[in-house]
Amino acid sequence: MSELIKIQDLNKKYGKKQVLKDVNLTLHGGQIVGLLGPNGSGKTTLIKVLNGLLKEYDGDVQIDQQAIGIHSKKIISYLPDEPYFENWMTTSDALNLFVDMYDDFDLNKALSLMERMDIEKKVKIKELSKGMKEKFQLILVMSRKAKIYILDEPLGGIDPAARELILDTILNNYAEDALVLLSTHLIADIEKIFDEVIFIKNGEIILHENSEDLRMKRQASINDIFKEEFKC
Ligand SMILES: Nc1ncnc2c1ncn2[C@@H]1O[C@H](COP(=O)(O)OP(=O)(O)OP(=O)(O)O)[C@@H](O)[C@H]1O
């Protein structure tokens, strides 16, 4: 499968604080990759670099074998950790925005997922609950036919009963050769869908492995291995 993300010697500081240290990482298509680390370990910072939202860093980042720019923006479908809708927007305004912005947006897919998750077509987004907003945002992101999906905490505000539906939405809505990079704290709920996992600690990648190999080697779940590594 093709090399979709290649990071070499990435270092990022906020003021004097080093938040990403010598990050080297190569990720291929056809994989769902879990980006796992405790609060403040650098997950969102790394994700923002990949999405071109943070431009000041040292090192080299290639997306689909090109520098971050117009091409990477086109092929990455990104779910940020905070909702980005304007207060006045209805769900149908947001759908129209995605139709206008992205050639690869599948409106029919979004409408059918909204129906499945009981989200109405003309409701004001600010009147949706936190979890409903997150579901709606995930629907928009997964209804693009992107090469790379980057999902920052997609299960954050979703109730346990709906998590399976969200996982199902992720699993069934990406092309076989696409890459899904997903950060989460809810490892136990989601680990079954990971092909690979990355552990990040104080801005350093301390582990990057195939999840099945890791489980076999350590005879434990990813959740337990994570707890052991981070002693929490
Ligand atoms: N805009 C900023 N200015 C200064 N420091 C920042 C800024 N954003 C993040 N940091 C710091 O960078 C470090 C990494 O933060 P980051 O948000 O990437 O962590 P995270 O792993 O995503 O955490 P969480 O799991 O809590 O979301 C933290 O120490 C944080 O305080």
Residue-wise pLDDT tens digits, 103-121: 999 999 999 999 999 999 8
Q: Indicate whether 232 pLDDT > 70.
A: no
pLDDT digits (tens, 9 = 90+) for 47-98: 999 999 999 999 999 999 999 999 999 999 999 988 778 878 999 999 999 9
The residue-averaged pLDDT of 143-159 equals: 91
Ligand 1 pocket member 198 (CB < 6 A): no
The pLDDT value given to residue 75: 96
**Three-state DSSP class for 25?**
strand
Element housing 192 (H / E) = none
What is the radius of gyration, based on Cα positions, of the chain? 18
Grade residue 156 by pLDDT with cuts at 50, 70 and 90: confident
Contact by Cβ (8 Å): 72, 66: yes
CA distances (Å), origin 144, targets 37, 123, 175: 27, 22, 10
Report residue 165: phi and psi, to 5°. Answer: -65, -40
| Residue of the CA atom closest to atom 9 of ligand 1 | 45
Helix (H, G, I), strand (E, B) or coil at 31: strand
> How many whole angstroms from 229 Cα to the centroid of ligand 1?
20
**Ligand 1 pocket member 37 (CB < 6 A):** yes
The top-level CATH class assigned to 3-84+147-230 is: alpha beta
Ligand 1 binding pocket includes 39 (Cβ within 6 Å): yes
Residue bearing tokens 């990720």: 27
Our answer on whether the CB atom of 23 is closer than 6 Å to any ligand 1 atom is no
Ligand 1 center to residue 45 CA distance, Å? 6
CA pair distance 153, 80, nearest whole angstrom: 8
The H or E element spanning position 228 is helix 222-230
pTM above 0.90, yes or no: yes
